[in-house]
Amino acid sequence: MGPLAGVKVTQLAGQGPVPFACLLLADMGATVTRVDPPGAPLRHPLGILQRGSRSAAVDLKSELGQEVGLRLAAASDILLEGFRPGVAERLGVGPERCLAANPRLVYGRMSAFGQDGPYSARAGHDINAIAVAGVLEPIGRRGQKPTPPLALVGDMGGGGALLALAAVAALLHARETGEGQVIDASMAEGAALLGTYLYRSWALGEIRERGTNMLDSGAHFYEVYETADGRYVAVGAIEEPFYRALLEVSGLAAEPLPEQWDRERWPELKERLAEVFRRRTQAEWCALMDRFDACLAPVHSPGEAPLDLHSVARGSFLERAAVVQPAPAPRFGKTPSEAGVPPSRLGEHTDEVLAELGYSAAERARLREARAVA
C-alpha cells in the first residue's frame, strides 16, 4: 500500500528526526528495517515514532555485525542515520563503504549542525539547533524568555520531514541515473528554512520585540483567549472579512474601534477581547462558529483532538496497540497510505531480516553465538 510500496529503507536506530522520517516513509508504503543495538532500552518517550518499522538487533561494533549492516545497505534503496559526524564510519557503515556496496543507495545523514563546520562535532538536540538557527528567539510572549516549541521545529519539521522529502527526491534521481548520493541534513538549517519568512521580515524591520508581532500573540486578532470555563479558543482573523466576523461574534462591531493594523492599540484591544471571551464557555463560543466565519477554533488537548467531530468524521486519528495517534497524512487519491504495525520489540524481526539477506539457518546461529545479533 502507498506510493512508496516496494521501496526498502534501512534505519540506523536513533532518536527524533530519523525515526520520524522513517515513520513518514513507512506510512507511505516503504518497508523500513530498523537496526537496533542489542541490549538497547525497549521503551523511549519517542518510541511511537517506530510505528511501521521492523527491528533487527545488530551489534555494529563487531565485524560480523558490520557485515550485516553492509548487506542491508546493499539491499536497500535508502539508508538513514542520525549519529554525530564520524560515528557511522567508526561503526563500519559510513557512506563510502555503503555506496561501494550499493552505488544506487540514497544515504541520508541527520545531525544537529551538519557534517562539517565548527559546530559539527557538538552534541545537540532540537532546542540547541533552533537556537543557533535564530528560530527559537522569536517564539514566546512579550516580556518572557523564548519558549521551546515541543521539538516540532528542529526534530520533526526541519529535521525528519525535510529528510524524508530529500530521501524521496534523491531516490527519484537514483532511479533515473543509477547514481546514489549522500544527503547532509542539518536540523539547524532545516529549522531556518521553515522560518524563511522570519529572516525577510527581520531584515525589513517588520518583526519587533518577541510577543508584539502579528503571529506571535502580539495582535488581538491572532491570539488565544480564555473562556468562562477556564478553557481556550484560538482566533486567527487576519483578513478583513474574518476580522469583521470576529467583531460581530464578539459584539464589538457596533463600537467605534481603532483600525485593525494600528499596532499601538493592539494591547488595548486584546484586553477588550479577553474580557468578552470570558463571558461564554468554550462550547458556547464554538456553537457560534457556524454562524460567524471568524477563524475561531477550540484549543484541544492531545487527548481531546481525536474526539473532535471533524477529526472523527475524517478519521484523522487511529488506534494502534491501545495508543491513539495521528493517521498518515497527507492523503493520496490513488495510492493511499496506511499506518503500519505498532512499534516492534527489540530484535523482533532479526531472523526474518537475516533470512531475506541470504543468511542460512546455520549462519544465523553462528551470528547469535558471536553476539553479533540478538
Cis omega (within 30 of 0) for bond into 302: no
| Active-site residue, 125 included | yes
- 38-47 long-range contacts, Cβ below 8 Å, gap at least 24? 38/346, 38/347, 38/371, 38/373, 38/374, 39/374, 40/13, 40/346, 42/345, 42/346, 44/15, 46/15, 46/16, 46/19, 47/343
- CA proximity to 18, closest of 4, 36, 41, 42: 36
Catalytic residue among 44, 125, 173, 300: 125
**Sheet of 232-236, strand order:** 222-226, 232-236, 296-298
Residues 327 and 309: their CA atoms lie apart, in Å, by 15
At residue 17, what is the residue type? P
Catalytic residue among 77, 155, 216, 220: 155
Residues 263 and 193: their CA atoms lie apart, in Å, by 28
List Cα–Cα distances, 39 to 76, 373, 374, in angstroms. Answer: 25, 10, 8
- CA proximity to 11, closest of 76, 91, 99, 62: 76
Residue with cell 546493499: 74
Residue length of the chain: 374
Residues 22 and 48: their CA atoms lie apart, in Å, by 12
How many other CB atoms sit within 10 Å of the CB of residue 324?
A: 13
The radius of gyration computed from the CA coordinates of the chain, to the nearest angstrom, equals: 25
- 315-324 long-range contacts, Cβ below 8 Å, gap at least 24? 320/51, 323/48
| Active-site residue, 349 included | no
How many other CB atoms sit within 10 Å of the CB of residue 364?
A: 16
Annotated catalytic residues are 125, 155
